[in-house]
Amino acid sequence: MDEIIENRILPYVKDDKTQNVWNSWCPDDRDLIFLDRDGSYFTKINLNTEFPEVNIRDIIDSLLDS
């Protein structure tokens, strides 16, 4: 496992005193959460039933264009 995560930036959310992201973002199991360039919540897609590749690409394109 160490070889997989060594020298990598892992997406990880942890509440702190100023941000209660688990409460404000209302995530569910298997949610893919997108953040804008400033690290603010943009949108989310749930991956429980499918992997909506086209929607994911559209969101990424929208973020890159902003």
pLDDT of amino acid 53:
93
Determine the pLDDT at residue 1. Answer: 62
> How many domains, the chain?
1
pTM above 0.75, yes or no: no
Which DSSP category does 30 fall into? T
CB 47 within 8 A of CB 30: yes
CB 43 within 8 A of CB 34: yes
* Residue 20 belongs to domain spanning: 2-65
- Rounded to an integer, the average pLDDT of 15-22 is 82
4 Cβ partners below 8 Å, 6+ apart?
none
Using the predicted structure, report yes or no on whether residue 21 has a pLDDT greater than 90. Answer: no
Place of tokens 């209302």: 26
What is the amino acid identity at position 33?
A: I
* Range in 3-12, 13-22, 32-41, 44-53 the model is least confident about: 3-12
